[in-house]
Amino acid sequence: MSAINQSGWRPEMATREGAAAATFTGNRALMLEEALIFEIGDAKTTGVDFTDVACVPAEAGTQTGLPPSREHKLGNLARTASIGLPGLSEPEAVRHYTRLSRQNYAIDLGLFPLGSCTMKHNPRLNEKVARLPGFADVHPLQPVDTVQGALEVINELAVWLIELTGMYGVAMSPKAGAHGELCGILCIKAALEARGEGHRKVILVPESAHGTNPATAAFAGFQVEDIPATDEGRVDLAALKARLGPDVAGVMITNPNTCGLFERDLKAISDAVHEAGGYVYCDGANFNAIVGRVRPGDLGVDAMHINLHKTFSTPHGGGGPGSGPVVLSEALAPFGPLPFTARHADGHIQLVEEETVGEDHPHSFGRMTAFHGQMGMFTRALTYILSHGADGLKQVAEDAVLNANYVLRSLDGVLDAPFGGSGPCMHEALFSDDNLADGFSTLDVAKGLIDEGFHPMTVYFPLVVHGAMLVEPTETESKAALDQFIGALRSVAERAKAGDASLKSAPHFAPRARLDETLAARKPVLVWKEPPLAQAAE
């Protein structure tokens, strides 16, 4: 009998506390505990063999008798204390990071229901094309004649984005959605200044806006004012019209919005804003729900970012990489950033890098990035677009919306859907904590889902809904995958409604349970300090 069995493991002890007591290592089968690398490594160990170097002050160097090339010339720069890094052998270091990586959730492991994030499968074909040496190995400072293929990709993608959105031009260089918002708002600012109306300082943002919208407007120097939502979860058109005036620079509206609803009044909103002398920024991060079906240009939009890393697959998460091209109306296009691609009559593609006063592009507000943008994401997005074709892209939107409605309706009577009466949802299903048992919250449902093997949905956003749970399945999930997720969410929700106390301490099967996420975000401990006990023992 092994020592582990002698410690008396019983299946019912498979809780965090029980398992830690039950196994010698604290591991549970393939779920491996992992200490900090500093706690594993030991400053006296190293994975690399260095030849000992005689350590002598520089001025004394010539007296060591060593050949001059072996002499150590660092003088008083020579390190006297330990470097403070953990010393590990190569296999120890590899195992540490591999174990940590296995504690991650990923789209390649299962459904990733994060609302507003469009976490969809990234076809391997995209990866194959992005890794072709002709794309992967080019350098942004290469002569333009040697990168015509790469520029062709940028230009071709630009043409598709303009076509799909019905807009006039596109700025390809912004590197993520929020960066694209900044680009669009800077275009609006430049256009107002060119008109001599730089005094327009107010940007109107609906209550349900993604947090990046007000942040962008404020960052660009505008004052942000809220526009209320109707009981239906859409922008209150009358309230918006009432606020328009000579101090308003424009509006920022997400469509489909963060309640997962289509803003049916967007054309009326655009007309009213234009009439009052403002511009319309549309947050297009949710374009996945309408691609191929609706052209924002037809709705009077002046600027809209497209998250290539959401709508057009391309992997994201963990902070990057992203890509947020901004499509622009005829009114704003002249103010867009440099550089951009332009095809000449002979087929040659030029990278327009400088303002050419009196010629092509004299009004550009400047640059968003050093070079032309995220080449790897352009390649992946164009691969995705071309492999779907126009009809396939339309089906993306239809299937994404169908899947979200399947989730919404399958949980009828289980979770409260605050806008369930506002008709079908778009790409995401929104629930509230309304009918959970007293003392049970959205957080408990999210933590329970972790035990079921799912990354939780987006929680507590949008702010207009109490205890919001926002689920976006995307079109890449099969019915079987959706049924499994729905079953898990239903089971956890029923436990929260029945007041099952074990849910309050979930997750029980994850490496860590309920961390103080706010403290971790506000006061991260980024430097490892040797624990006082260990120091005392030395």
Ligand X SMILES: *Cc1c(COP(=O)(O)O)cnc(C)c1O
Toward ligand X, which CB reaches closer, 205 or 503? 205
Six-digit token pair at 374?
A: 């995220």
Toward ligand X, which CB reaches closer, 167 or 493? 167
- Torsions phi, psi of 194, nearest 5? -65, -30
Query: Smallest distance, Å, CB 261 to ligand X?
Result: 13
Query: Smallest distance, Å, CB 249 to ligand X?
Result: 19
Dihedral through CA 88, CA 90, CA 92, CA 96, nearest 10? 100
Query: Smallest distance, Å, CB 207 to ligand X?
Result: 14
What 3-state DSSP class applies to 279? Answer: strand
Q: In what order do the strands lie in the sheet with 223-227?
A: 169-171, 326-328, 303-305, 279-283, 248-254, 202-206, 223-227
Neighbours of 510 (CB within 10 A): 16
- Write out the residues near ligand X by the rule CB under 6 A: 116, 176-178, 210, 212, 254, 258, 283, 285-286, 307, 322, 324
Residue 250: beta bridge partners? 203, 279
DSSP-derived pairing of the beta strands 279-283 and 303-305: parallel
Contacts of 401 (CB under 8 A, 6+ apart): 289, 424, 425, 426, 427
Q: Are 221 and 190 in contact (CB under 8 A)?
A: no
Query: Smallest distance, Å, CB 369 to ligand X?
Result: 14
Toward ligand X, which CB reaches closer, 20 or 215? 215
Q: What b/e readout covers 354-364, taking b as 16+ CB neighbours within 10 angstroms?
A: eeeeeeebeeb
Provide the 8-state DSSP code for 420. G
DSSP-derived pairing of the beta strands 279-283 and 326-328: unpaired
Six-digit token pair at 75?
A: 């003088």
Contacts of 417 (CB under 8 A, 6+ apart): 408, 411, 429, 430, 431, 432
Q: Are 286 and 304 in contact (CB under 8 A)?
A: no
462 cis-preceded (ω within 30 degrees of 0): yes
Toward ligand X, which CB reaches closer, 126 or 286? 286
Q: Are 340 and 272 in contact (CB under 8 A)?
A: no
Q: What b/e readout covers 138-165, taking b as 16+ CB neighbours within 10 angstroms?
A: eeeeeeeeebeebbebbbbbbebbbebb
Toward ligand X, which CB reaches closer, 122 or 286? 286
What 3-state DSSP class applies to 522? Answer: helix
Toward ligand X, which CB reaches closer, 308 or 351? 308
Query: Smallest distance, Å, CB 179 to ligand X?
Result: 6
Toward ligand X, which CB reaches closer, 164 or 182? 182
Query: Smallest distance, Å, CB 160 to ligand X?
Result: 19
What 3-state DSSP class applies to 281? Answer: strand
Toward ligand X, which CB reaches closer, 284 or 336? 284
Provide the 8-state DSSP code for 239. H
Contacts of 264 (CB under 8 A, 6+ apart): 234
Query: Smallest distance, Å, CB 462 to ligand X?
Result: 10
What distance separates the 2 farthest-apart alpha carbons in the chain? 89
Query: Smallest distance, Å, CB 293 to ligand X?
Result: 18
Toward ligand X, which CB reaches closer, 96 or 210? 210
Query: Smallest distance, Å, CB 311 to ligand X?
Result: 10
Q: Is the dihedral of CA 147, 155, 303, 197 positive or negative?
A: positive
Query: Smallest distance, Å, CB 287 to ligand X?
Result: 10
Toward ligand X, which CB reaches closer, 322 or 339? 322
Query: Smallest distance, Å, CB 209 to ligand X?
Result: 8
Query: Smallest distance, Å, CB 117 to ligand X?
Result: 6
Query: Smallest distance, Å, CB 116 to ligand X?
Result: 4
H/E stretch holding 149 reads helix 148-165
Toward ligand X, which CB reaches closer, 317 or 511? 317
Six-digit token pair at 257?
A: 């919005």
What would the DSSP string read from start to end of 204-227?
EEETT--THHHHHHHHTTPEEEEE
Toward ligand X, which CB reaches closer, 169 or 322? 322
Contacts of 56 (CB under 8 A, 6+ apart): 64, 71, 72
Toward ligand X, which CB reaches closer, 212 or 313? 212
Toward ligand X, which CB reaches closer, 22 or 304? 304
| In the complex, residue closest to ligand X by CB | 177
Query: Smallest distance, Å, CB 322 to ligand X?
Result: 4
